[in-house]
């Protein structure tokens, strides 16, 4: 066995050392070090300039980007928030309402191979009168101002970025537009396009968006940023606007004029999943979360609670109240509604929901006559969406 004794190693064509050795068993790689195999470090690692972009937790600012949570149901012909949590279907002027649904992603489809097995699907109705100038079918995702302000994005700097990425599939080959819009101060709009999509083919779209000195995000729970996937907007809301740059928002120019092929195709479909918005100029792999973690994030905006109560009065009538505390503190005091009426209602003249606070609400009951009053399994919904 031979031993090489030297203090430095230098490339034959180089002018400086590549590797330096000292008499304390230390080795210094003077330039870049590439390890094709595994790297094992038995001691402490000190890595300056380490940028763990793909392993940083909570980097996805989108809630329910994998479309796994659907507290309200899995299919609906209603607009607004009705199926997949945090995704709002905004429509107007349609002849027949589109259907929104949480659907399975095919096991051989691109998102599935990335661990994304659910999607948000819009199925067009039959728009018999064609594409009207005031018609609209868009998907929106709204984020709180404080969550953008404190995300780590230096949003007033043109050299600081956020990156939006998502998977989309349309049954109709078409270019679609979208936009990112701010709410605080003078509202700013950043329109973008998907590029021409092939029919029935999942495509990953990535948009890197710079900051701008006109952007403002207040430290509050109001709407700060709206991300829109524009399926169709009529010409009342579209026009001359420049893609991929910030400009003051105008309600008459959300995006350039839209192609109407999808909108005028009966039962056309569009699916979206894997939606991610992250600080930085690189689209990292989708950040997967457990169902429980994502549900809790969704419940800041919408939660359902099952309520049961029993009481007694010796008088001819009496009152009772049940305060229900949420699993997750709400963004704001919530709008209350009954999803499913109580069963086994006994001796009660009313059960009213009210007194909404960010941490809960009250079911107010009236007992009609002396004796016991009770109800079981009243399913209440609390909506504090943006």
Partner 1 sequence: MYKLRDSTFQNYQKEVIRKSDGVVIPFDGENTDYQEYLKWVDEGNTAEAAD
- Would you tell me which residues interact with partner 1 (CB under 8 A)? 220-222, 319, 321, 331-338, 352-356, 362, 364, 383-386
Q: Which residues contact 184 (CB under 8 A, 6 or more apart)?
A: 145, 216, 217, 218, 222, 224
What three-state secondary structure class fits 292?
Answer: helix
Q: Compare residues 258 and 351 and give the one whose CB is closer to partner 1.
A: 351
Answer yes or no: are the C-beta atoms of 186 and 248 closer than 8 Å.
Answer: yes
Q: Compare residues 88 and 289 and give the one whose CB is closer to partner 1.
A: 88
Q: Compare residues 226 and 278 and give the one whose CB is closer to partner 1.
A: 226
Q: Compare residues 337 and 340 and give the one whose CB is closer to partner 1.
A: 337
Least distance in angstroms from the C-beta of 110 to partner 1: 35
Please state, as a whole number, how many other Cβ atoms lie within 10 Å of the Cβ of residue 166.
Answer: 26
Least distance in angstroms from the C-beta of 355 to partner 1: 5
Least distance in angstroms from the C-beta of 341 to partner 1: 11
Q: Which residues contact 117 (CB under 8 A, 6 or more apart)?
A: 68, 104, 105, 111
Least distance in angstroms from the C-beta of 358 to partner 1: 9
190-211 residues labelled b (16+ CB within 10 A) or e (exposed)? bbbbbeebeeeebeebebebbb
Look at the alpha carbons of 238, 175, 82, 163 in this order and tell me if their dihedral is positive or negative.
Answer: negative
Which ranges constitute the DSSP H helices of 94-158?
110-113, 145-149
Closest CA to 137 of 171, 196, 96: 96
Answer yes or no: are the C-beta atoms of 166 and 265 closer than 8 Å.
Answer: no
Q: Compare residues 79 and 221 and give the one whose CB is closer to partner 1.
A: 221
Answer yes or no: are the C-beta atoms of 265 and 48 closer than 8 Å.
Answer: no
Least distance in angstroms from the C-beta of 381 to partner 1: 9
Q: Compare residues 332 and 345 and give the one whose CB is closer to partner 1.
A: 332
Least distance in angstroms from the C-beta of 335 to partner 1: 5
Q: Compare residues 279 and 363 and give the one whose CB is closer to partner 1.
A: 363
Answer yes or no: are the C-beta atoms of 231 and 138 closer than 8 Å.
Answer: yes
Least distance in angstroms from the C-beta of 268 to partner 1: 29
**CA gap 210, 292 in Å, rounded:** 33
Q: Compare residues 209 and 356 and give the one whose CB is closer to partner 1.
A: 356
Answer yes or no: are the C-beta atoms of 373 and 365 closer than 8 Å.
Answer: yes
Q: Which residues contact 379 (CB under 8 A, 6 or more apart)?
A: 304, 305, 306, 307, 338, 339, 340
Least distance in angstroms from the C-beta of 299 to partner 1: 16
Q: Tokens for 33? A: 């070090």
Q: Compare residues 288 and 331 and give the one whose CB is closer to partner 1.
A: 331
**CA gap 141, 143 in Å, rounded:** 7
Q: Compare residues 216 and 276 and give the one whose CB is closer to partner 1.
A: 216
Strand 174-182 with 188-197, pairing = antiparallel
Least distance in angstroms from the C-beta of 333 to partner 1: 4
Least distance in angstroms from the C-beta of 336 to partner 1: 4
Q: Which residues contact 74 (CB under 8 A, 6 or more apart)?
A: 83, 101, 102, 103
């Amino acid at each position: 066995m031979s031993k090489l004794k030297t203090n430095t190693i230098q490339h034959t064509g180089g002018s400086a050392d590549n590797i330096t050795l000292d008499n304390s068993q230390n080795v210094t790689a003077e330039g870049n070090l590439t390890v094709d195999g595994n790297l094992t470090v038995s001691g402490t690692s000190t890595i300056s300039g380490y940028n763990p972009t793909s392993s940083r937790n909570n980097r996805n600012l989108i809630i329910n980007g994998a479309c796994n949570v659907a507290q309200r149901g899995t299919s609906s012909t209603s607009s607004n928030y009705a199926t997949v949590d945090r995704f709002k279907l905004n429509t107007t002027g349609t002849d027949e309402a589109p259907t929104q649904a949480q659907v399975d992603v095919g096991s051989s489809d691109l998102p599935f191979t990335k661990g994304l097995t659910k999607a948000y699907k819009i199925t067009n109705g039959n728009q018999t009168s064609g594409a009207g100038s005031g018609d609209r079918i868009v998907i929106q995702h709204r984020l709180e101002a404080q969550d953008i302000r404190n995300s780590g994005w230096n949003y007033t700097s043109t050299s600081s970025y956020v990156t939006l990425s998502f998977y989309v599939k349309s049954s109709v080959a078409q270019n679609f537009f979208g936009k990112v819009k701010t709410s605080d101060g003078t509202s700013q709009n950043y329109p973008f396009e998907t590029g021409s999509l092939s029919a029935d083919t999942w495509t990953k779209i990535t948009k890197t968006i710079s900051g701008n000195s006109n952007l403002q995000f207040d430290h509050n729970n109001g709407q700060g940023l709206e991300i829109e996937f524009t399926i169709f907007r009529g010409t009342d809301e579209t026009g001359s606007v420049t893609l991929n740059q910030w400009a003051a928002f105008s309600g008459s120019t959300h995006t350039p004029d839209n192609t109407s092929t999808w909108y005028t195709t009966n039962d056309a479909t569009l699916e979206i999943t894997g939606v991610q918005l992250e600080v930085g100029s690189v689209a990292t792999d989708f950040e997967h979360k457990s169902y429980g973690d994502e549900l809790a994030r969704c419940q800041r905006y919408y939660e359902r609670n099952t309520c049961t109560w029993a009481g007694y009065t010796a008088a001819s009538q009496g009152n009772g109240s049940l305060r229900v505390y949420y699993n997750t503190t709400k963004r704001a005091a919530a709008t209350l509604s009954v999803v499913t009426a109580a069963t086994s209602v006994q001796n009660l003249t009313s059960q009213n929901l009210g007194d909404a606070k960010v941490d809960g609400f009250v079911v107010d009951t009236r007992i009609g006559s002396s004796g016991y009053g009770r109800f079981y399994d009243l399913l209440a919904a609390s909506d504090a969406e943006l």
